[in-house]
């Protein structure tokens, strides 16, 4: 799947919004991605999943793990394409952990998959949680990278499409300076 086709799917489904947004990271941006909208259609999710899986076919991935909630749908599809197991990590008292009876064995070969990487925080926390449980995390992937390739998650990382969009500290946000109200879509309250 080509990067421009990935971005086209986002635009078509309304998953790529333009305006003035507060991201989960607290940064402001003229672009907001609502991946849930592009993943509404299982056939599209399956396509993204297969495209990510292609990058890791030779890695003998045993398990795909995703940080909840954003990574769940795409991670599941990547696992399906790789014939791997699927588990997820989630925050408990602000710390990313394995719950629900999920466990990993020492040396288990794991790929971490998320929908969008902005700062890489969720993926980095998921990688750390899995490594703390003895897993061997071989890589990480997302549908979109909006860090312009800069996010470091501590393991090799790929994305189907890299967006070159500016995410800035509110203190230096041009849209804020113009007095335009910033919207916080998504689930976490400001
Ligand atoms: Zn702003």
How close is the Cα of 119 to the center of ligand 1, in Å? 17
**Which pair of tokens denotes residue 47?**
């396509």
Backbone angles phi, psi at 162, to 5 degrees: -110, 125
Q: 88 CA to middle of ligand 1, Å?
A: 32
Ligand 1: centre distance to CA 157 (Å): 29
Q: What is the pLDDT of residue 56?
A: 97
Whole-number pLDDT of residue 119? 86
pLDDT tens sequence for the chain (190 residues): 999 999 999 999 999 988 999 987 788 999 988 899 999 999 999 999 999 999 999 999 999 999 999 999 999 999 999 999 999 999 999 999 999 999 999 999 999 999 999 889 999 999 999 999 999 999 999 999 988 899 999 999 999 999 988 789 999 999 999 999 999 876 444 4
Using the mean position of ligand 1's atoms as its centre, give its distance from the Cα of residue 107 in Å: 44
Report CA torsion sign: 137, 141, 146, 150. positive
How far, in Å, CA of 28 to CA of 175, rounded? 9
Q: How many whole angstroms from 190 Cα to the centroid of ligand 1?
A: 14
Q: What is the pLDDT of residue 111?
A: 98
pTM summary value: 0.88
Distance 164 CA to ligand 1 centre (A): 17
CA of 145 to the centre of ligand 1 (A): 21
Listed in order, strand segments (DSSP E) in 146-180 are 157-162
pLDDT at site 167: 82
Peptide bond into 69 cis (omega under 30): yes
Distance 177 CA to ligand 1 centre (A): 7
Rounded to the nearest angstrom, the distance between the alpha carbon of 59 and the centre of ligand 1 is: 41
């Amino acid at each position: 799947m080509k990067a421009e086709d990935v971005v086209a799917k986002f635009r078509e489904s309304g998953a790529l919004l333009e305006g003035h947004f507060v991201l989960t990271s607290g940064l402001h941006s003229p672009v907001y991605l609502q991946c849930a909208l592009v993943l509404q259609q299982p056939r599209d999710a399956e396509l993204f999943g297969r495209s990510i899986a292609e990058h890791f076919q030779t890695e003998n991935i045993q398990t795909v793990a995703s940080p909840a909630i954003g990574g769940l749908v795409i991670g599941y599809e990547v696992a399906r394409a790789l014939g791997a197991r699927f588990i997820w990590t989630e925050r408990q008292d602000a710390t990313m952990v394995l719950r629900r009876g999920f466990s990993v064995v020492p040396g288990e070969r794991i790929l971490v998959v998320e929908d969008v990487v902005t700062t890489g925080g969720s993926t980095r926390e998921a990688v750390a949680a899995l490594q703390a449980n003895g897993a061997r995390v071989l890589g990480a992937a997302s549908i979109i990278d909006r860090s312009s390739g800069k996010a470091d998650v501590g393991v090799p990382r790929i994305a189907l499409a890299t967006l070159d969009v500016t995410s800035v500290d509110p203190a230096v946000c041009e849209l804020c300076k113009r007095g335009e109200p910033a919207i916080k879509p998504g689930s976490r309250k400001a």
